[in-house]
Structure 1
Amino acid sequence: MDTQRPSPTELILLKALWRKTPLSAKEVHEQVAAELAWSFSSTRKTLDRMLEKGFVSATEVHGTKVFRAELGKVQTLANFVMDFSQRVLEVKGPLPVSMFAQSELLSASEIEDLERLLSSAEKSEGGEASDHE
């Protein structure tokens, strides 16, 4: 699997797929249209690029191509949180996972998993957590 970090727009498409999967390109587009305000062809092209990168997989269901997220939600979000806190905010200590308590994207058990990932990444010498859950 590609270890590249998804772009902000790719992350929006991944979040749609984490909420419900599988989805066709049209269904993904309907989920993100208000947030991205772009054409269906842009959604389709982005999904195709994500497929090439290994961020999503595709299969056919009743003649329609449907997509599934291949990047794990908790690990991907942990990588974003660590990058932002270290690179942007220059935080060198523990990260407050309590800030995710009201997240509509993460369940209580996923928040616990995120806390473990962030804690273990902090203990490793500047190492970034891997993209595998």
Structure 2
Amino acid sequence: MDTQRPSPTELILLKALWRKAPLSAREVHEQVAADLAWSFSSTRKTLDRMLDKGLISALDIHGVKVYRAEVGKVQTLANFVKDFSQRVLEVKGPLPVAMFAQSELLNAAEIEDLERLLLDSEASDHE
């Protein structure tokens, strides 16, 4: 799926959906309230923008609109890590995946997938 990169605030909503989905707009808002000091209507508008970008999908369950992520967690995070390391830190070469060992967002298998994606990306950059 060809999607745009999520913004930092969209990433926060995606993380809520990766942890537990499907979620209603109200449930998403409750999950991100500590991270984003904004109104429920801002959450709804952001979810609508994310729908338009193809980052999430919506379906109706028992008359309630619920959302789920349509972009993969590991691939999305790999894109962010690669961009940050190259553009901001100007790191050239392989990235140390050990820095994710204490992540509350990634389990061991996902960390392995992330490492593979970053290594594959590094190899394709040198071709």
TM class, shorter-chain normalised?
Answer: over 0.9
Separation in structure 2 between the aligned mates of residue 84 and residue 109 of structure 1, nearest angstrom: 23
Specify whether residues 126 and 18 from structure 1 end up closer, same or farther in structure 2 by C-alpha distance, changes over 3 A only. farther
TM-score, normalising length: structure 1: 0.93
1:125 deviates by 2.1
1:1-133 counterparts in 2 under 5 A?
1-125=1-125
Three-state SS of the structure 2 residue aligned to 1:37 is: coil
TM-score, normalising length: structure 2: 0.97
Tell me if structure 1 keeps the 8 A contact 2:3–2:55: no
Instruction: Spell out, residue by residue over 1:52-81, the C-alpha distance to the aligned partner (whole angstroms, 9 max, x if none).
Output: 110000000010000000010000000000
Three-state SS of the structure 2 residue aligned to 1:38 is: coil
Three-state SS of the structure 2 residue aligned to 1:90 is: coil
1:38 deviates by 0.2
Separation in structure 2 between the aligned mates of residue 110 and residue 42 of structure 1, nearest angstrom: 31
Separation in structure 1 between the aligned mates of residue 126 and residue 64 of structure 2, nearest angstrom: 44
Name the Cα RMSD after superposition. 1.1
Query: Structure 1: 5+ residue runs without aligned partners?
Result: 128-133
Three-state SS of the structure 2 residue aligned to 1:124 is: helix
Q: Would you identify which runs of 4 or more consecutive aligned residues in structure 1 move more than 2 Å? A: none
Percent of paired sites with the same residue: 82
Three-state SS of the structure 1 residue aligned to 2:35 is: helix
Instruction: Spell out, residue by residue over 1:3-27, the C-alpha distance to the aligned partner (whole angstroms, 9 max, x if none).
Output: 3110000000000000000000000
Query: Structure 2: 5+ residue runs without aligned partners?
Result: none
Q: How many residues align?
A: 127
1:126 deviates by 6.0
Separation in structure 1 between the aligned mates of residue 45 and residue 2 of structure 2, nearest angstrom: 18
1:105 deviates by 0.2
Separation in structure 2 between the aligned mates of residue 56 and residue 125 of structure 1, nearest angstrom: 29
